[in-house]
Protein backbone atom coordinates (compact mmCIF):
# COMPACT_ATOMS: atom_id res chain seq x y z
CA UNK A 1 0.00 0.00 0.00
CA UNK A 2 2.74 2.45 0.90
CA UNK A 3 4.72 1.59 -2.24
CA UNK A 4 1.59 1.67 -4.40
CA UNK A 5 1.45 5.44 -4.05
CA UNK A 6 -0.43 5.77 -0.79
CA UNK A 7 2.60 6.56 1.35
CA UNK A 8 1.95 10.28 1.48
CA UNK A 9 -1.49 9.66 2.94
CA UNK A 10 -0.13 8.17 6.16
CA UNK A 11 1.33 9.96 9.16
CA UNK A 12 1.44 6.90 11.43
CA UNK A 13 1.65 3.25 10.41
CA UNK A 14 2.10 0.04 12.41
CA UNK A 15 4.53 -2.20 10.52
CA UNK A 16 5.63 -5.50 12.04
CA UNK A 17 9.17 -5.78 13.34
CA UNK A 18 10.56 -7.41 10.20
CA UNK A 19 8.84 -4.79 8.02
CA UNK A 20 10.43 -1.90 9.92
CA UNK A 21 13.85 -3.13 8.87
CA UNK A 22 12.78 -3.57 5.24
CA UNK A 23 11.08 -0.17 5.15
CA UNK A 24 14.15 1.56 6.59
CA UNK A 25 16.31 -0.12 3.91
CA UNK A 26 13.95 1.20 1.23
CA UNK A 27 13.89 4.68 2.79
CA UNK A 28 10.14 4.47 3.48
CA UNK A 29 10.32 5.58 7.13
CA UNK A 30 11.58 8.84 8.53
CA UNK A 31 13.58 8.98 11.73
CA UNK A 32 11.49 9.71 14.81
CA UNK A 33 12.07 12.74 17.01
CA UNK A 34 12.18 10.76 20.26
CA UNK A 35 12.18 13.96 22.32
CA UNK A 36 8.55 14.53 21.27
CA UNK A 37 7.31 11.08 22.34
CA UNK A 38 6.09 10.73 25.91
CA UNK A 39 6.40 7.54 27.93
CA UNK A 40 9.50 6.07 26.32
CA UNK A 41 11.05 5.76 29.76
CA UNK A 42 8.29 3.26 30.58
CA UNK A 43 9.28 0.80 27.86
CA UNK A 44 10.51 -2.55 29.11
CA UNK A 45 14.22 -2.97 28.42
CA UNK A 46 13.67 -5.79 25.93
CA UNK A 47 11.68 -3.38 23.70
CA UNK A 48 14.38 -0.73 23.66
CA UNK A 49 17.04 -0.86 20.96
CA UNK A 50 15.64 -3.80 18.97
CA UNK A 51 17.83 -5.61 16.46
CA UNK A 52 15.58 -4.55 13.59
CA UNK A 53 15.69 -0.85 14.60
CA UNK A 54 18.71 0.11 16.75
CA UNK A 55 17.96 2.92 19.24
CA UNK A 56 14.29 2.87 18.12
CA UNK A 57 15.19 5.41 15.48
CA UNK A 58 12.22 4.55 13.25
CA UNK A 59 9.80 2.61 15.44
CA UNK A 60 8.29 2.33 18.88
CA UNK A 61 6.51 -0.85 20.02
CA UNK A 62 2.74 -0.40 20.10
CA UNK A 63 1.47 -3.75 21.29
CA UNK A 64 2.53 -7.21 22.25
CA UNK A 65 0.47 -10.23 22.95
CA UNK A 66 -0.83 -13.59 21.95
CA UNK A 67 -3.27 -14.27 19.16
CA UNK A 68 -6.35 -16.13 20.27
CA UNK A 69 -9.80 -17.11 19.11
CA UNK A 70 -12.66 -14.76 19.90
CA UNK A 71 -16.15 -15.87 19.03
CA UNK A 72 -19.82 -15.05 19.48
CA UNK A 73 -21.14 -18.07 21.43
CA UNK A 74 -24.83 -17.64 20.47
CA UNK A 75 -23.83 -17.80 16.79
CA UNK A 76 -21.82 -21.05 16.95
CA UNK A 77 -23.32 -24.51 17.27
CA UNK A 78 -20.27 -25.77 19.16
CA UNK A 79 -17.60 -24.01 21.18
CA UNK A 80 -14.06 -23.84 19.75
CA UNK A 81 -11.62 -25.44 22.16
CA UNK A 82 -8.50 -25.00 20.07
CA UNK A 83 -7.14 -23.87 16.71
CA UNK A 84 -8.05 -27.13 14.98
CA UNK A 85 -11.69 -25.99 15.17
CA UNK A 86 -11.02 -23.62 12.26
CA UNK A 87 -10.00 -26.48 9.99
CA UNK A 88 -12.55 -29.02 11.25
CA UNK A 89 -15.45 -26.55 10.77
CA UNK A 90 -14.15 -24.73 7.70
CA UNK A 91 -17.33 -25.33 5.66
CA UNK A 92 -19.59 -24.11 8.49
CA UNK A 93 -17.37 -21.08 9.12
CA UNK A 94 -16.91 -20.10 5.47
CA UNK A 95 -17.64 -16.38 5.14
CA UNK A 96 -18.18 -16.09 8.89
CA UNK A 97 -14.69 -15.58 10.30
CA UNK A 98 -11.89 -13.05 10.10
CA UNK A 99 -8.21 -13.75 10.61
CA UNK A 100 -5.40 -11.25 11.06
CA UNK A 101 -3.93 -10.07 7.78
CA UNK A 102 -0.49 -11.26 8.82
CA UNK A 103 1.07 -14.31 7.24
CA UNK A 104 3.26 -14.92 10.31
CA UNK A 105 0.21 -15.05 12.58
CA UNK A 106 -2.08 -17.18 10.47
CA UNK A 107 0.34 -19.40 8.58
CA UNK A 108 2.65 -19.61 11.56
CA UNK A 109 -0.15 -20.83 13.80
CA UNK A 110 -1.27 -23.34 11.18
CA UNK A 111 2.23 -24.75 10.66
CA UNK A 112 2.83 -24.88 14.40
CA UNK A 113 -0.46 -26.76 14.80
CA UNK A 114 0.62 -29.34 12.21
CA UNK A 115 3.99 -29.82 13.89
CA UNK A 116 2.85 -29.77 17.51
CA UNK A 117 -0.83 -30.80 17.76
CA UNK A 118 -0.49 -31.28 21.51
CA UNK A 119 -0.22 -27.48 21.88
CA UNK A 120 -3.86 -27.09 20.87
CA UNK A 121 -5.09 -26.28 24.33
CA UNK A 122 -8.09 -24.30 25.45
CA UNK A 123 -7.53 -21.49 27.92
CA UNK A 124 -10.42 -19.83 29.76
CA UNK A 125 -9.91 -16.19 30.58
Average pLDDT over residues 91-111: 78
Confidence of residue 7 (pLDDT cuts 50, 70, 90): low
Dump pLDDT digits (tens) for 64-79: 777 777 888 888 888 8
**Other C-beta atoms lying within 10 Å of the C-beta of residue 28:** 16
pLDDT band at 104 (very low <50, low <70, confident <90, very high): confident
pTM of the model: 0.57
Instruction: Specify the higher pLDDT residue, 44 or 63.
Output: 44
Q: Give the start-to-end residue ranges of the domains of the chain.
A: 2-56, 73-119
- Among the listed residues 15, 105, 102, 24, the one whose alpha carbon sits nearest the alpha carbon of residue 62: 15
Q: How far apart are CA 109 and CA 53, in angstroms?
A: 26
| pLDDT of 124 strictly over 50 | no
Eight-state DSSP code of residue 105:
H
Mean pLDDT of 7-27: 82
Amino acid sequence: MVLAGGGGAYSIIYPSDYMVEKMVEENLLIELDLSRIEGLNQLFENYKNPVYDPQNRHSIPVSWGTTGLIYNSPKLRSQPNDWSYLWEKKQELKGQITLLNDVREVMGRFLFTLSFPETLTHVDC
